[in-house]
Chains A and B, each alone.
Chain A
Amino acid sequence: MPTFWLVALLLALSAAGFYGGRRRALATAAGNVKELHSLPSYYGYHVAMAAFVPAIAALAVWLLAQPMFIETRVSGMIPAEAVPESSTLGLVMSDVRRVAEGLDLAVEQGLLTAREARNAVAGEQDLRALMGEVGVALGSNVRPEVLEAAQAYRNLSNTGRTAMTVVVALLALGGFAWAYSRTHKDFRARNVVERAVLGLLILAASLAILTTIGIVLSMLFETRNFFGLHSWTDFFFGSTWAPNFRGGSELSILPLLWGTLYISFIALLVAVPVGLFAAIYLSEYASGAVRAFAKPLLEILAGIPTIVYGLFALLTVGPALADLFGKGGLLGVEWMAGATSVLTAGLVMGVMLIPFVSSLSDDIINAVPQALRDGSLGLGATKSETVRQVVMPAALPGIVGAVLLAASRAIGETMIVVMGAGAIAKFSANPLESMTTITTRIVSQLTGDTDFASPETLVAFALGLTLFVLTLGLNVLALYIVRKYREQYE
């Protein structure tokens, strides 16, 4: 039965278990609550959890594992000769899946009876047209191997689903029964339930590790596939980025890395001085009123979604710069070709990072002990001398950490560069030219029309993995520096 109803059934069973367990516990205590070891509700939770948790876990695991299992089984059925020249097993499998889905839909909508669907033979009916009618588009007529595989797919899926329902139901009922039988007034229900809850809490906490593992593995596998199709030395050390969907692409990360770093550099050039001076003024000079007014306003800049900044770069800053530097512009020079450029994206990204740098610096400056400032002022230094010669050197490691974090943020930023930086990969020192970045290319390679198993698409995973490692490295370094700095004052 469909998953939704299965889950609903489990929930109903758990609810029944709750009330049943509670009643039984009270019954064994002859209705006297004081005789029970734990509160009545714990007995209820005990039965409910025993019915629900193992069953839902089995359901989740089955739903995750079944597709992979079936996929492997059915792929094995397709002989190598059946895979056409221009195609791959992966594409054929997706055809198989679509045909299977189409057959299911046809039965559901009444266009075929279940028996007809089972016994369909390629060539006997116009299956392609039939698929089209139920909304499944196929590129070519259905081949016999594909149809056979699709039928196997459907069979396995059906058996799998029935088996799953049976197993889950058995687990639920079994859990119910076992827990119910244990329910007795001396049974330490609360301890058991609390231990189970603790287990669930640990599971939730482990999700963080699972996510990281998921991120790394998902990119690692495809990167490995990529390096199978394209040399890794060329990827890391080559100097051209020129994907060609017909093959023979040059896919090197260096031009992209250059664009990324250049834009981030300009962004930091804007954000660090402005953010730092803003933080210094707000923490050392500003009155309470000014601080209460200016700080939240600056924080608003941090809350604006990056798509807004991206649009701003594309439609306002870009054309404004082009008006200044481009053809027919104010300065009468032709340095800028279009609206997208490194400077466009860099300036806007800088504005986005101002509150980031400012609030991190603010924390760091406030952590410098007041005693140092007093010592300096006591010697007759002005406030600016104190800040420049005592506070800032003391805060320097922390500030460096903050800048590294900002750099990491800039390197990983996507929307502003997708809209403001352009698509051309090149090594150039001219900030008015448009240069693309790692993140932009990840988006373009994964949203294009190229075949998933081609190097042009898989390169995006390699890019993603490199980006992940790079930002992770910067973050770890930054946190290490800041922690060492904090130790100095504690």
Chain B
Amino acid sequence: MNDMTLMENTVDTQNIKISAKDVNVYYGDSHAIKDVNVEIEDKTVTAFIGPSGCGKSTFMRCLNRMNDTIGTCRVQGDILLDGEDIYDKRVDPVQLRAKVGMVFQKPNPFPKSIYDNVAYGPRIHGLARNKAELDEIVEKSLRRGAIWDEVKDRLDAPGTGLSGGQQQRLCIARAVATEPEVLLMDEPCSALDPIATAQVEELIDELRNRYSVVIVTHSMQQAARVSQKTAFFHLGNLVEFGPTGQIFTNPEDPRTESYITGRIG
């Protein structure tokens, strides 16, 4: 078994999880995302980098149709998850978001117990047939969130009573509880202190064994540390997309080079 997992760690270009073609996003009259084409691979961490306001968060929110909640937002183009167009009329976003989980910038645990926070997703999607199964799912998720040891004795304590880093790991545990296939993380460490950041980055590295992870980050160092592929966005365009090592040492586009050398953004 181990050998096979080792082989999975190398980048496999045939394992495309999400495929975006000619995606354009409009907020009212403003053209926020312009002709983006990108392929997110499975079992890989893909980083979206770029200066503020370049559209990386907006694009990521298209991947789980969170932009639907904004009335003035219009999405054109194709976004395929496992070959199925997520914007197809037949698709219920509710089911999509069980497959594509999200972790937000500022940790937002519900004002419920730790157990109930994690159990929320499985409950609404009907993933557990009885309490025993639910307990199992909660424990498994908390372990995957690398927080089980810290909270296993106080599952009834309120989720809001944890420290910032712990809260974010709780949110990650909550997101994986619905057994998603893709995890979207919108600047997950920007509200955390360095130690908590390190813990979460370590966790991301473990997560990529199971999920396809997309992470938006402001920190190029973080992108370099955790991701295998990187996409550079600028003013709504996807300027360059490629293996992380190549983007940061030998970028093809001059704009990319300007960004990573600090001249822009």
Contact = CB atoms under 8 A, between A and B. Distances in A.
B94 A378 contact: no
Contacts of A390: 110, 120
B218 interface: no
B234 to A, nearest CB: 26
Interface in B161-220: 171, 174-175, 178
Nearest to A394: B111
Interface residues of A, number: 19
Nearest to A368: B111
B97 interface: yes
Contacts of A389: 120, 124
B121 A379 contact: yes
A363 to B, nearest CB: 18
A356 to B, nearest CB: 26
Interface of B: 64, 66, 69, 71, 93-98, 101-102, 104, 106, 108-112, 120-121, 124-125, 171, 174-175, 178
A377 B104 contact: no
Given A376-B110, A380-B94, A390-B110, A371 B104 contact: yes
A389 B117 CA distance: 11
Interface in A368-388: 369, 371-372, 374-382, 385
9 contacts: A374-B104, A375-B109, A375-B110, A375-B174, A378-B102, A379-B120, A379-B178, A381-B94, A390-B110
Given A380-B124, A389-B120, A375 B108 contact: yes
Contacts of B71: 287
A248 interface: no
B108 A379 contact: no
Interface of A: 287, 369, 371-372, 374-382, 385, 389-390, 393-394, 488
Contacts of A385: 124
A132 B175 CA distance: 91
A375 B104 contact: yes
B176 to A, nearest CB: 11
A378 B105 CA distance: 13
Contacts of B102: 378-379
B1 to A, nearest CB: 31
Contact of A374 (B66, B95, B175): B66
B110 A378 contact: no
A378 B111 contact: no
B120 A376 contact: yes
Given A390-B110, A393-B111, A378 B101 contact: yes
Contacts of B109: 375
Contacts of A377: 66, 69, 97
Given A287-B71, A378-B97, 5 more contacts: A378-B101, A378-B175, A379-B101, A379-B178, A390-B120
A-B complex: 4 closest residue pairs judged by Cβ atoms: A380-B97, A378-B102, A371-B108, A380-B98
Nearest to A391: B110
Given A374-B66, A375-B171, A381 B124 contact: yes
Contacts of A393: 111-112
Contacts of B97: 377-380
A376 B120 CA distance: 9
